[in-house]
Amino acid sequence: AQRVTQPEKLLSVFKGAPVELKCNYSYSGSPELFWYVQYSRQRLQLLLRHISRESIKGFTADLNKGETSFHLKKPFAQEEDSAMYYCALFNQAGTALIFGKGTTLSVSS
Amino acid sequence: GAGVSQSPSNKVTEKGKDVELRCDPISGHTALYWYRQRLGQGLEFLIYFQGNSAPDKSGLPSDRFSAERTGESVSTLTIQRTQQEDSAVYLCASSPRTAGRELFFGEGSRLTVL
């Protein structure tokens, strides 16, 4: 069965520090992976997807099939990065986007 | 140019009553998803609609839950004989039939069952 695990419920860092939000997955074959973000009082929205290999707001995520991981990284955290972050992947049928439980990132000055 | 719209935004009901939640997807989006988010939990997939294809209902937790969608328009999620454990935020999302399949979420309907 497909599964997404985000081991950290809360990650607190200081402004300017590096950030790594962990995501591990269980999937047979080539997964379609995403990071979604929810800022305070805003809707859940897409941050980035692995097929695009893009950097959004300074965040990157690399798919590591050997470790079945898709960790989200940013070299220098900003206070505006404080939000809830969800890792997600589509199920084998492509009908459901399966989410992890989310990690709250808190960046303080 | 509205995004996904959900109503009501808040609903308080008594145990045993039926509730109906509505979702208006973005125009032209063929796919529509319902999720449930209990307090402190992640998003739990409920149901998926894609155009006129048979929906994927595999996430519905019990036969008290049902959802309908006519074509590529509005969807309603119905919960019959509500229980306290049904209290949650119910999120709707839609997506276009394109590569990448970004989901666009509504603001959710917060259901409280007393």
Handedness of CA B111, A43, B61, A69 (dihedral sign): negative
CA distance B45 to B34: 6
pLDDT digits (tens, 9 = 90+) for A57-91: 999 998 999 999 999 999 999 999 999 999 999 99
Query: How many of the other CB atoms lie within 10 Å of CB of A14?
Result: 10
- Per-residue pLDDT tens digits of chain B, which is 114 residues long: 579 999 999 999 999 999 999 999 999 899 999 999 998 888 999 999 998 888 999 999 999 999 999 888 899 999 999 999 999 999 999 998 765 689 999 999 999 999
Residue A100 has pLDDT above 90, yes or no: yes
A38, A84 in Cβ contact below 8 A?
Answer: yes
Residues of A in contact with B56 (CB under 8 A): 93, 95-96
Q: What is the pLDDT of residue B91?
A: 98
Check A43 against B106: CB less than 8 A apart.
Answer: yes
Check B45 against A96: CB less than 8 A apart.
Answer: yes
Residues of A in contact with B93 (CB under 8 A): 44
Residue A8 has pLDDT above 80, yes or no: yes
A49 touches chain B (CB under 8 A): yes
Residues of B in contact with A52 (CB under 8 A): 100
SS3 of residue A89 by DSSP: strand
Check A43 against B103: CB less than 8 A apart.
Answer: no
What single string gives the DSSP state of each residue in A24-59? EEE-SS---EEEEEE-TTS--EEEEEGGGT--BTTB
Q: What is the pLDDT of residue B100?
A: 64
pLDDT digits (tens, 9 = 90+) for B30-49: 999 999 999 888 899 999 99
B contact residues 21-80, partner A, Cβ 8 Å cutoff: 33, 35, 41-43, 45, 48, 50, 56, 58-59
Q: What is the pLDDT of residue B38?
A: 93
